[in-house]
Amino acid sequence: MAHTNYARSIELPKEQIFRNLQNAKRFAIDIGGSLAKVAYSSDWQRRAPLVYDEPDSDGSIYNVAEKEETMVRLHFVKFETKYIGSCLDFILTNLIDSKEFMRDKIIKVTGGGAYKYKELITSKLGVQVDKEDEIECLICGCNFLLKNIPDEAFVYQRHGNPDYTFQGVDQDVFPYLLVNIGSGVSLVKVESDTKFERIGGTSTGGGTFWGLGCLLTQAKSFDDLLVLAEAGDHRSVDMLVRDIYGGAYNNMGLAADIIASSFGKATRIDGENFQKEDLVRSLLLCISNDIGQIAYLQARLHGLTKIYFGGYFIRGHPLTMHTIGFAINYWSKGEIKALFLRHEGYLGAVGAFLKGNEEQDAEKYSWGENLAGSSGLASPKSSYAHEGQIQHSIFDHGFDMLELDRLERPVLACPLLLDPSSYFPDTVDLMHDVDARTYWLKCFADSVDKNVQLAIKSQAEEPGVEERANKYKEKYLCKLRTLSVNPCAYGSLTVRSLLDTGSQCLAEFNFPDSYSQQKQQENEVALRQLPDHLKFLDALCGDTVNLALAKGLLAGNVFDWGAREVRELLETGQFSFLDAQKKLQDRPWLYDDFDAWSSRLGKDPPYRCAVIFCDNSGADIILGIMPFARHLLSIGTQVILCANSRPTLNDVTYSELVILVKRVAELCPRISDALASDRLVVMESGQGSPCLDLRFVDQDLVKAMQTRKADLIVLEGMGRAVHTNLHAAFACDALKVAVLKNRWLANRLGGEMFSVMFKFEKACKVSVSSNVT
Amino acid sequence: MAANEPMCESTTSNNSDSDVDSESLPSMPWFGMDIGGTLTKLVYFEPMDVEGEGNEEKETLRIIRKYLTGNVAYGKTGIRDVHLEMPDQVIGGRQGALHFIRFPTHEMQAFIDLAKVKNFSSLASAICATGGGAFKFEKDFQEQVNLQLHKYDELDCLIRGIHFIDRHNHSCECYYWARAGTTDSHLQNGHSASAQPSATHSDLNSPNHSRAVNGEATSQSGSSGATSSQSESNGPQHSQDKNAGSDTFGDGDWYKVPFDFRDPYPYLVVNIGSGVSILAVHSPTNYKRVSGTSLGGGTFLGLCCLLTGCQTFEEAVELASTGDNHKVDRLVQDIYGGDYGRFNLKGDLVASSFGHMMSQQRREEATREDLAKATLVTITNNIGSIARMCAATEKIERVVFVGNFLRVNTISMKLLAYAMDYWSQGVLKALFLEHEGYFGAMGCLIEYLKLGHPS
């Protein structure tokens, strides 16, 4: 088919734009005055690790393989509304089952164009078109993104350090004002998922910028106009306070460089030729200022202190965000917050899709952002500059790429947190901390080759494995480079985000679990050592037991393939559990609450239920965690062992742990009894990260914590207790245990390589208002 | 005289000239100047009771009169708004006429040059001025013409000027726009909500009462300001809007109705010059600037110049009066095929100003007139919308629009009248004043007289 006149936004190879279109199952379209946004869900085949129990095999404790797994992924595409016909043709010809497949389907359509293009869609795709209210979809989409994407909303502060401040997951999102800037502007007061009201609007919006911009400059596209605006100087076009007063108007508190009259200088008839860059910049400032002021006035009238901006006007454009944010800050004297959205353009499409989804499938799903597929925000650095040439680069990444993966199971905030709304998982903000950022970006870039090797090794027999591994490398390094220019490009930058992006990039190229054989082998070795280790522990008496268990936990935690220096030790093949114990720092440890911990264990009543988040496979889980859990069980505490739902590094996964615990039970009657009596349970955490984000924990685990009245949380390993949750406050007692296996980080924390963190924190006082149920 | 008017507010407030001690009055001539970003406005009091005065003053006044009425002192682009002249005024015990003159601020240097050549400093040693230019040009006046600029606060002057002119022209200064063929009940409600004496109320509602004094004044010939729109406001009261059929504010004949403004508090002043200032006025002395926007008259004219190649405000308004913004703007019905019923948005509302102009074909089809009209509607609606929110925030129902953006600009006035009424469900009332842009200059003159002259 000929699609020669596509807008630039879809001139890219179509398979990149309409990713995975052939497996599309359900569509929703948001047709705006100028841009159309398509959301579609596709079945996405990818490899997943398979761990299975086959006792008669050759002495292995379990078997590993890879299976094809079908997951559901939500894709978003935008294009200019005028190309809707050819885009529909493209969709049709690329669907596997073509028109017949669509015949009895229903497509949700929203936006102003729902009316205009209804017939076209029906006739082209042969589907039934269901119109959904535009504003309802916007609100639905906005609430969804704020709930499911932790770094969706941000405050923009020019020359801030960092320029972007992400808002995390706002637990009390309502009430807020949504300012949707499409061709025109709608202002909607949102009080709950179902209660909202359009309180105003203005016709001076994105269409005005685009339309007037074209008239003034002959430029064609919106993005071209933004590029022009970057290079302009509005002071030759606008009349400033300075131009009227000769300086500031102090009586009114108006600074000299405030715009008194937009385009006020264009009235001069002395034949002056205005630069088109200057005109567009003036136009952008004028419209952004105006929208900011109107948003502020409405927010104040309705007593709202948070304003979210959606639509397709801002596009992460720093000058626009600065202008709108400045206006709101100026008028409200800092009392009202302007919040921008990373995926501002897709609110309506998300909402329309969800409406269709709800009707088909009553189940509530959780969705996670596919970090490998997300595009980055513009770098504030490049847009400060006044040279036009480099400006093109800020749009190259495609500000608006978004893919959401449907999680198999719903996730919820961990009920053991003292205050989920103030909880932030990460310890170090790499957007702010330049030293740490420099170190970690380099550290992760340096480890890429090793990951490539491992990935290839894990699928050595496969044809084309090297090519895939190299694609992973390219993708991940590209992300790291983007981050070195704009640390805020993909949301909060933390060690966690870097680790997770790495894992998801690997999975994207069908390397779901490079460590599976490694883990299996280490588990087998550790399991063989377990009986002797248990015997050794059982021979101890009194306080020495607790210390030995603690040291076992720590020694086990040394076995971490994610830490480079340890990896070198492990690669020798000679490093034993005993060696690990010798490596540990002598007491007093860097953080040493052991005495308090030991004394608590000696007291009555014992803990009701301990929730343990496990770290590595092998010695860590089998020789460290299992004896520790066994001891807790023996003093009357129930234990929930939590492992990752999805693999990452050599962290033990839920499916592995289920089998491992079964094997341990075969060796140890106490574990066997506990399993049988349900005092010991293995559960999945809902995560696939070496770190732990307690805002998104598997729903069943949350339920178990509640019904068993968990009163102790144990976080093990650097990822879960140092990179994240180091400062997390819990409503119950918490034990945070890790061995510092990164010299740079250890030094930073005032310790050395193999320094020990053994933090025991009593339950924080729960204030009535923030009581967690 | 203001002192004779029935007033609910205390008459001892200093907004009236009645407390001006004629002993301390400065010597003639009496000027008030408001130097704005685009236009400079001058108010001149010409005494008519000069018999028996000293020859020197008489001679000075004669020369000034020659310049003023001869229409040369302010160059080709200066204009005396003859129709606004207020004869038979008594100020500071003197009887005379108030003249209203304007010229572009960019001609200020020419004005200064002329003042230098004509040796103005022999006629007056000081000029009182307000507006931004009072600050900007202070040094120039001092150094080049040896004239001292007495600076007065812009907003103080604006409020003083409104009160003064309204007191002296109360029967016909303030008015609102009503529409024939529609029930005027909401406007009446808004009206009676204010503490008006009911007797004058009914009296003033006679449409034919408007402009009784100045009605016979005709626009000055030769002035570029003399447009058909201007004479329209002086002509038949039921003036037909040229483009009523296609306007977003609906069909119908609009006419002006006088409004008794003697007890106006609280009210909002929306002063639309190059930019816009919005003031909440609670009493003659209690007022504050509550908001403002840079999208004002300067934006309208600037964009019109860029889009249509026009050169003057009058030309821009004239173009707009025959244009159709629907060719340029995207309406609710262009998007939804009709009303957006769920949120009560009518189909003929503008959804996106200039929203059609992203299409090459539409750009080619749009005429200069259409573009001018769209610009005018965009700016006007935006001002109306900000004014409405400010009124709601300040809990004020009367909104007075002033400033030279409204000069010869009935389209904007009607749009504002319609928008204020429509969007507030009849709660808000848009009011207008005949001396649109001259209140700052008037107030400046009052301030000057009140304070006395140092020499």
CA end-to-end span of chain A, whole Å? 58
Work out how many domains chain B is built from and give that number.
2
A666, containing H or E segment: helix A654-667
Query: Which residues share a beta bridge with B130?
Result: B34
Q: Do A183 and B293 touch (CB under 8 A)?
A: no
- Closest by alpha carbon to A384, among A190, A160, A614? A160
- Confidence (pLDDT) at B3: 34
Q: DSSP secondary structure string, A434-448?
A: HHHHHHHHHHHHHTH
- Confidence (pLDDT) at A378: 61
Confidence band, pLDDT 50/70/90 cuts, at residue A721 = very high
B75 and B152 co-located in one domain:
yes
Q: Which residues contact A529 (CB under 8 A, 6 or more apart)?
A: A577, A619, A622, A623
Q: Which residues contact A510 (CB under 8 A, 6 or more apart)?
A: A46, A47, A468
Q: DSSP secondary structure string, B147-214?
A: -EEEE--HHHHHHHHHHHHHHHTTTTSEEEEEETTS--HHHHHHHHHS---HHHHHHHT-GGGTTTTT
Between CA A580 and CA A571 the distance in angstroms is 14
Confidence band, pLDDT 50/70/90 cuts, at residue A384 = very low
- Confidence (pLDDT) at B441: 96
Nearest to A262 among B154, B299, B335 (CB): B299
CA end-to-end span of chain B, whole Å? 28
Interface predicted TM-score of the whole assembly (ipTM), two decimals: 0.85
**Does B354 reach chain A within 8 Å, measured CB to CB?**
yes
Classify residue B99: in a domain, yes or no: yes
Polymer length in residues for chain A: 773
Classify residue B377: in a domain, yes or no: yes
| Res. A393: pLDDT tops 70 | no
Of the candidate ranges A17-21, A683-687, A723-727, the one whose mean pLDDT is the lowest: A17-21
Confidence band, pLDDT 50/70/90 cuts, at residue B301 = very high
Classify residue B123: in a domain, yes or no: yes
Instruction: At A133, list the tokens.
Output: 């209210």
Dump pLDDT digits (tens) for A65-80: 888 888 899 988 888 7
Mean pLDDT, residues B24-32 taken together:
80
B244 and B355 co-located in one domain:
yes
- Confidence (pLDDT) at B60: 76
- Closest by alpha carbon to A738, among A761, A719, A716? A716
B139 and B279 co-located in one domain:
no
* Mean pLDDT rounded to a whole number for chain A: 88
B275 and B373 co-located in one domain:
yes
Confidence band, pLDDT 50/70/90 cuts, at residue A25 = confident
B325 and B396 co-located in one domain:
yes
B295 and B327 co-located in one domain:
yes
- Closest by alpha carbon to B168, among B270, B269, B262, B279? B262
Dump pLDDT digits (tens) for B52-97: 656 677 777 777 777 776 655 555 678 889 899 999 998 888 899 9
Of the candidate ranges A97-101, A557-561, B123-127, B192-196, the one whose mean pLDDT is the lowest: B192-196
Between CA A75 and CA B443 the distance in angstroms is 63
Task: Specify the pTM.
Answer: 0.86
Q: Do B36 and A244 touch (CB under 8 A)?
A: yes
CB B435 within 8 A of CB B101: no
Q: Which of B5, B9, B143, B154 is catalytic?
A: B154
**Does B7 reach chain A within 8 Å, measured CB to CB?**
no
Instruction: At A247, list the tokens.
Output: 């300086």
Between CA A253 and CA A251 the distance in angstroms is 6
What dihedral do alpha carbons A235, A237, A241, A242 form, nearest 10°?
Answer: 50
Between CA B184 and CA A19 the distance in angstroms is 60
Mean pLDDT, residues A507-535 taken together:
93
Confidence band, pLDDT 50/70/90 cuts, at residue A389 = very low
B288 and B330 co-located in one domain:
yes
Classify residue B327: in a domain, yes or no: yes
Classify residue B455: in a domain, yes or no: no
Between CA B59 and CA B122 the distance in angstroms is 11
- Confidence (pLDDT) at B92: 82
Instruction: At A523, list the tokens.
Output: 């588990």
Q: Is A571 helix (H, G, I), strand (E, B) or coil?
A: helix
CA distance B322 to chain A (A): 20
The CA distances from residue A629 to A634, A638, A699, in Å, are 9, 9, 23
Q: Do B136 and A244 touch (CB under 8 A)?
A: yes
Q: Which residues contact A58 (CB under 8 A, 6 or more apart)?
A: none
Classify residue B142: in a domain, yes or no: yes
- Confidence (pLDDT) at B263: 87
Q: Do A203 and B293 touch (CB under 8 A)?
A: no
A596, containing H or E segment: helix A594-601
Of the candidate ranges A225-229, A613-617, B196-200, the one whose mean pLDDT is the lowest: B196-200
Q: Do A112 and B336 touch (CB under 8 A)?
A: yes
Mean pLDDT, residues A377-386 taken together:
46
Q: Is B81 helix (H, G, I), strand (E, B) or coil?
A: coil
Task: Collect all residues of chain B within an 8 Å Cβ-Cβ radius of residue A273.
Answer: none
Instruction: At A596, list the tokens.
Output: 């308090």
CB atoms within 10 A of CB B146: 14
Mean pLDDT, residues A124-129 taken together:
84
| Res. A357: pLDDT tops 90 | no
- The residue segments making up the domain with residue B74 are 22-168+439-450
Confidence band, pLDDT 50/70/90 cuts, at residue A16 = low
Nearest CA in chain B to A198: B343
Classify residue B296: in a domain, yes or no: yes
The CA angle B119-B124-B125, to the nearest 5 degrees, is 95
Instruction: At A272, list the tokens.
Output: 């002056």
- Confidence (pLDDT) at A7: 29
Burial class of residue A27, CB neighbours in 10 A (0-12, 13-18, 19+): buried
Between CA B154 and CA B157 the distance in angstroms is 5
The CA distances from residue A64 to A69, A439, A455, A513, in Å, are 15, 35, 15, 10
Instruction: At A710, list the tokens.
Output: 């968990």
Confidence band, pLDDT 50/70/90 cuts, at residue A755 = very high
Pick the residue with more confidence: B179 or B57?
B179
Between CA A203 and CA A226 the distance in angstroms is 20
- Confidence (pLDDT) at A113: 83
CB B147 within 8 A of CB B124: yes
Amino acid symbol at A515: Y
Pick the residue with more confidence: A244 or B11?
A244
Q: DSSP secondary structure string, A466-504?
A: HHHHHHHHHHHHHHHHHHHH-TTTTSS--HHHHHHHHHH
B242 and B139 co-located in one domain:
no
The CA angle A342-A343-A349, to the nearest 5 degrees, is 170
| Res. B231: pLDDT tops 50 | no
B354 and B302 co-located in one domain:
yes
**Does B110 reach chain A within 8 Å, measured CB to CB?**
no
Between CA B295 and CA B383 the distance in angstroms is 8
The CA distances from residue A66 to A452, A515, A683, in Å, are 18, 12, 22
B140 and B188 co-located in one domain:
no
Q: Is A625 helix (H, G, I), strand (E, B) or coil?
A: helix
Query: What are φ and ψ of residue A410, in 5° steps?
Result: -65, 150
- Confidence (pLDDT) at A55: 66
**Does B38 reach chain A within 8 Å, measured CB to CB?**
yes
| Res. B242: pLDDT tops 70 | no
Mean pLDDT, residues B354-366 taken together:
94
B90 and B126 co-located in one domain:
yes
B51 and B132 co-located in one domain:
yes
- Confidence (pLDDT) at B19: 45
| Res. B245: pLDDT tops 80 | no
Q: Is B76 helix (H, G, I), strand (E, B) or coil?
A: coil
| Res. A722: pLDDT tops 90 | yes
Q: DSSP secondary structure string, A260-288?
A: EETTGGGG--S-PPPPHHHHHHHHHHHHH
- Confidence (pLDDT) at A612: 98
Residue with tokens 């017939």: A119
Question: For the sheet containing A196-202, what is the strand order?
Answer: A164-166, A153-156, A337-341, A306-311, A176-181, A185-190, A196-202
Task: Collect all residues of chain A within an 8 Å Cβ-Cβ radius of residue B303.
Answer: 212, 263, 266
Query: Which residues share a beta bridge with A106?
Result: A128
Instruction: At A245, list the tokens.
Output: 């007063």
Between CA A732 and CA A325 the distance in angstroms is 40
CATH number at residue B133: 3.30.420.510
CA distance A33 to chain B (A): 7
Dump pLDDT digits (tens) for A276-302: 999 999 999 999 999 999 999 999 999
Determine what percent of chain A is predicted with pLDDT higher than 70: 91
Nearest to B132 among A113, A245, A274 (CB): A245
Q: Do A183 and B329 touch (CB under 8 A)?
A: no
Classify residue B5: in a domain, yes or no: no
| Res. A335: pLDDT tops 50 | yes
Between CA A208 and CA A32 the distance in angstroms is 14
CATH number at residue B330: 3.30.420.40
Based on the residue annotation, tell me whether B154 is a catalytic residue of this protein: yes
Q: Do A262 and B295 touch (CB under 8 A)?
A: yes
Of the candidate ranges A74-88, B88-102, B204-218, B273-287, the one whose mean pLDDT is the lowest: B204-218
- Which residues of A167-294 form beta strands (DSSP E)? 176-181, 185-190, 196-202, 239-240, 259-261
Confidence band, pLDDT 50/70/90 cuts, at residue A386 = very low
Q: Which residues contact A59 (CB under 8 A, 6 or more apart)?
A: none
Task: Collect all residues of chain B within an 8 Å Cβ-Cβ radius of residue A266.
Answer: 301-303, 305-306
Task: Collect all residues of chain A within an 8 Å Cβ-Cβ radius of residue B307.
Answer: 215-216
* Mean pLDDT rounded to a whole number for chain B: 78
CB A318 within 8 A of CB A163: yes
- Closest by alpha carbon to B268, among B377, B421, B430? B430
Between CA B193 and CA B187 the distance in angstroms is 10
Mean pLDDT, residues B318-331 taken together:
96
A706, containing H or E segment: helix A699-707
Q: Do A247 and B353 touch (CB under 8 A)?
A: no
- Closest by alpha carbon to B30, among B46, B15, B17, B50? B46
The CA angle B219-B221-B223, to the nearest 5 degrees, is 85
| Res. B453: pLDDT tops 60 | no
Determine what percent of chain B is predicted with pLDDT higher than 70: 75
Angle separating helix axes B313-322 and B410-423, nearest 10 degrees: 60
CB A289 within 8 A of CB A323: yes
- Confidence (pLDDT) at B210: 32
